[in-house]
Chain A
């Protein structure tokens, strides 16, 4: 079974069509990069995957299954979908609470009966998984917002892990970070490879090359090409892809 299945997905903001019959799929445990110039629809596609586009004036057609949920059906329990399909934003946005509370926030929402001992285990393993434990283990009760930018972004990833998400969506997770932070978060993505399914929107083609197994090039709301990352960058089939990956526009 695929972690994500997108079938002929179209989306309109009012009269503006942001996605035009996009189809793609993501295998379990795979890292997929969505690349393309600003405004091409890659963030819009990502936000559909955990229903962050639920707002007036948005119209969607087609099919979209994410983590075993029909992400378009009005009958889908959006809260459960979001529990199992986590999202990391462009600007690190830890909640205004301590590091501990940030990591345990998901359990508080979705598994409030979790025992204190289990919570501590979840806390430590999530922070270890994002390589933040050694740095914060003595400051778990300090505000999450006091960490460095890189630390904050790692915390935002860590807070998704106690819920054992099926898919992690990342919307330009490194674009607010400095080169060291980027390296650290990319390393973290590599560590998550195989155990989590990642869909990563990125502006940074080098990053897509470094971290992803598969890349998809979107242009003006249309899926131009999807291929194993190495192939897409070395031998793109579409003229537009090759012009974009060569940096001739975008």
Chain B
């Protein structure tokens, strides 16, 4: 028999590799839990005891003595604001680009375009920050913004950063639509565009929604570029040109100065926990949406 020809050593090695693969597989879950436990251990207490204060104030003044204020209202609004603005930029462009690549581009154009778009994803976040400060900043000032480092600047950067994700996931979603739908619509005399609009996009809507949701998750958690480009001013924005500050930027900017174990330090971990919760929820929704498609799809 085959098995007997293998030495005990080889079989031992086989088992060791199997165990290693097993451990690596589970490590992802372990790391996730460990990170959550770490953040929660530092921040959960603060989040619970200051829950009402945090949510009912828009004043984030963690270093004012003797009574620091930890209102996160403006930070949450700032985060939602910049994410919302960025989606207003990236979703239409991303979905239209995905439609173009999936349905209209020739195979050679598609290959080149995909490589270039995915290259966008490889640009480090801090480099996007540079672009925000050195290019978008003067551009917005030239367009009439009082301050070039503002919510719109950060949103444009985030939009460009999430574009690759939207385009490649969106394109996958569209290409997964069965050809029989395309044939049905074309054979009835639909134009390519009518087919896309009436048939493909509705058929791929779950996949497109997942792309948008993952884009949201990416934007919410993005730190460096928004820290550099949004002006870092704690306030409720009413105009795209208003500077803002996000949850992530607050943590990144202040953690180095906060006294370890102190109230400020804990408050920043509470923000981290909140972010963790938001991105976890968004990813979970995306996952459930995708599962729904697999179960419900024809």
Residues on A close to B: CB < 8 A?
Answer: 50, 52, 78-83, 86-87, 89, 91, 93-97, 105-106, 108-110, 145, 156, 159-160, 163
**Contact residues in A for B63 (Cβ distance below 8 Å):** none
Residues of A within 8 A of B104 (CB): none
Within 8 A of A (CB), among B204-246: none
Q: Which residue of B lies closest to A79 (CB)?
A: B189
Verify A106–B188 contact, CB threshold 8 A: yes
Q: Which residues of B contact A89 (CB under 8 A)?
A: 180, 183-184, 187
- Beyond contacts A79-B189, A87-B187: 15 other A-B pairs, Cβ-Cβ < 8 A, are A50-B187, A78-B189, A79-B190, A86-B188, A89-B187, A93-B178, A95-B198, A96-B199, A97-B202, A108-B198, A109-B189, A145-B298, A159-B188, A160-B188, A163-B188
Partner of B199, one of A87, A91, A95, A156: A95
Cβ of B254 within 8 Å of any chain A Cβ, yes or no, is no
| Given A95-B199, A105-B198, A108-B198, CB of A82 within 8 Å of CB of B188 | yes
B183→A52 contact, CB < 8 A:
yes
Contact A96 B187 (CB under 8 A): no
CB <8 Å contact, B187 and A82: yes
Residues in A with CB closer than 8 Å to B184 are 89, 93-95, 156
Contacts between chains A and B (CB distance < 8 A), count: 59
- Rounded to whole angstroms, the CA-CA distance of A54 and B191 in the bound complex is 13
Contacts of A91 in B (CB 8 A): 180
Chain B residue, CB-CB nearest to A159: B188
CB distance from A150 to the nearest CB of B (A): 16
Instruction: Report whether B180 and A83 are in contact in the complex, using a CB–CB cutoff of 8 Å.
Output: no
Complex formed: what's the CA distance from A163 to B187 in Å? 13
- Closest-by-CB residue of B relative to A160 is B188
Residues of B within 8 A of A (CB-CB), count = 18
Q: Name the interface residues of B255-298: CB closer than 8 Å to any CB of A.
A: 298
A156 contact set on B, CB distance < 8 A: 184
- A-B pairs with beta carbons under 8 Å apart, 14 shown: A50-B187, A52-B187, A79-B190, A86-B188, A89-B187, A93-B178, A93-B180, A95-B184, A95-B185, A96-B203, A105-B198, A109-B198, A159-B188, A163-B188
Judged by a CB distance under 8 angstroms, whether B53 is at the interface is: no
Query: B180, B185, B188, B298 — which one has the most chain A CB atoms within 10 A of its CB?
Result: B188
B298 interface neighbour in A96, A110, A163, Cβ under 8 Å? A96
Q: CB-CB < 8 A to A81: which residues of B?
A: 189
- Per the bound structure, the CA–CA distance linking A144 and B190 in Å amounts to 19
The proximity string for B residues 169-207 relative to A, scoring 1 for CB distances below 8 Å and 0 otherwise, is 000000000101101111111110010001100110000
A106 touches B180 (CB 8 A): no
User: Chain B residues with Cβ under 8 A from A83's Cβ?
Assistant: 188-189
Task: Contact check, B298 vs A106: say whether CB atoms are below 8 A apart.
Answer: no
**What is the CB-to-nearest-CB distance from A142 to chain B, in angstroms, rounded to a whole number?**
13
Measured CA separation A94–B178 after assembly (Å): 11
Smallest CB separation, B105 vs chain A (Å):
14
Given contacts A96-B199, A96-B202, A105-B198, contact A82 B180 (CB under 8 A): no
Residue of A nearest to B199 (CB): A95
Q: Is the CB of A79 within 8 A of B191?
A: yes
- Please name all residues of chain A whose beta carbon is closer than 8 Å to the beta carbon of B189 when the two chains form the complex: 78-83, 106, 109-110
Q: In the complex, what's the smallest C-beta–C-beta distance from B8 to chain A, in angstroms?
A: 54
User: Within 8 Å CB of B194, what residues of A?
Assistant: 109
Chain A residues in 8 Å Cβ range of B187 = 50, 52, 82, 86-87, 89
- The CA of A97 and the CA of B198, in the complex, are separated in Å by 9
B186 near A96: Cβ-Cβ < 8 Å: no
Assembly CA distance A201 to B230 (angstroms): 64
Across the interface, name the chain B residue whose C-beta is closest to A156: B184
* Nearest CB in chain A to that of B185: its residue: A95
The chain B residue sitting closest to A143, CB to CB, is B298
Complex: how many Å from CA A82 to CA B185? 10
- Which of chain B's residues has its CB closest to A109's CB? B190
| Complex contacts, B185 vs chain A, CB 8 Å | 95, 105
Chain A nearest Cβ from B108, distance in angstroms = 13
CB-CB under 8 A from A79, the residues of chain B are 189-191
Q: How far is the CA of A95 from the CA of B190 in the complex (A)?
A: 12
Taken together as a complex, chains A and B put the C-alpha atoms of A89 and B178 apart, in Å, by 14
Residue with the highest number of chain A CB atoms closer than 10 Å, among B181, B190, B203: B190
Q: Nearest Cβ in chain B — how far from A226, in angstroms?
A: 25
Tell me, in angstroms, the Cα distance from A161 to B81 when the chains sit together: 50
Query: Across the two chains, which residue of chain B brings its CB closest to A152?
Result: B298
